[in-house]
Amino acid sequence: MFTGIVTDIGTVVAVAPRADDLRRLTIACGYDRTGIVDGASIACSGTCLTVVAAGVDNGRTWFAVDAAAETLRLTTVGRWTVGSRVNLERALKIGDELGGHLVTGHVDGLADLVSREDLGEMARMTFRVPTTLARFVATKGSVTLAGVSLTVNEVAGDTFSVLLIPHTLEVTTLGELAAGDQANLEVDLMARYAARLAEAA
């Protein structure tokens, strides 16, 4: 589990095809190498990936993950190349502060950025989501975009807007997005279960 509070921005330093439609990605980061073990889960721009190797090169920590065909097809991971910047979050530990909301790292789909309005140091972004996911997005509810926990400002049909404060624009990759870009979307887990319960009633 995660909280959607990004703790580092990593950089993809290697991409290599593997057998059985796997792709191995190596990501350099600012984390302490001693805290990364094989099998650990790290959310990479909202996608929960498993560490398969880790080390230090030129004083900087790196870790490697394998992405399967479905992950490559359904998320932005399939488009990452050397130099791509990705939001990182380590898995939640018991006792950690829950600063965002409960996030699984299981991407539901891709959100299309349809417009961006820069408001001084802040930015308002409007995204379009697949119709099947739109019903899980509510005004003042939570969504995760590229691994970042955000509060929904407004909803209109299959679009919603979020207001990004200067801190979020500075410490995540969301500030790099422009109209036409896509971001990994995870809808709020509670919204999903509430909809399921309503269907069963």
Q: Which of 29, 43, 48, 123 is catalytic?
A: 48
- To the question of domain 8-90 being in CATH 3.30.530.20, the answer is no
The answer to whether 68 is a known catalytic residue is yes
- pLDDT tens string 6-37: 999 999 999 999 887 899 999 999 999 999 99
The answer to whether 151 is a known catalytic residue is yes
CATH of 109-200, one of 3.40.50.150, 3.90.1310.10, 2.40.30.20, 2.40.50.140: 2.40.30.20
3-state secondary structure of 70: helix
The answer to whether 63 is a known catalytic residue is no
Look at residues 76, 96, 98 and name the one whose alpha carbon lies nearest to residue 4: 98
The tokens for 68 are 């399967």
The answer to whether 2 is a known catalytic residue is yes
Rounded to an integer, the average pLDDT of 183-194 is 85
Q: Which of 50, 104, 159, 161 is catalytic?
A: 50
Same fold, 8-90 and 109-200: yes
3-state secondary structure of 76: helix
Q: How confident is the model at residue 149 (pLDDT cuts 50, 70, 90)?
A: very high
- pLDDT tens string 67-90: 999 999 999 999 999 999 999 999
Give the domain ranges of the chain: 8-90, 109-200
Quick one: three-class SS letters along 127-195? EECCHHHHCCCCCCCEEEECCEEEEEEEEECCEEEEEECHHHHHHCCHHHCCCCCEEEEEECHHHHHHH
Across all residues in the chain, what is the average pLDDT?
93
Rounded to an integer, the average pLDDT of 117-129 is 97
The answer to whether 44 is a known catalytic residue is no
3-state secondary structure of 88: strand
Q: Which of 106, 139, 156, 194 is catalytic?
A: 106
Longest dimension (CA), the chain: 58
The answer to whether 48 is a known catalytic residue is yes
Are residues 5 and 89 in contact, defined by beta-carbon separation less than 8 angstroms? Answer: yes
Look at residues 193, 149, 142, 199 and name the one whose alpha carbon lies nearest to residue 171: 149
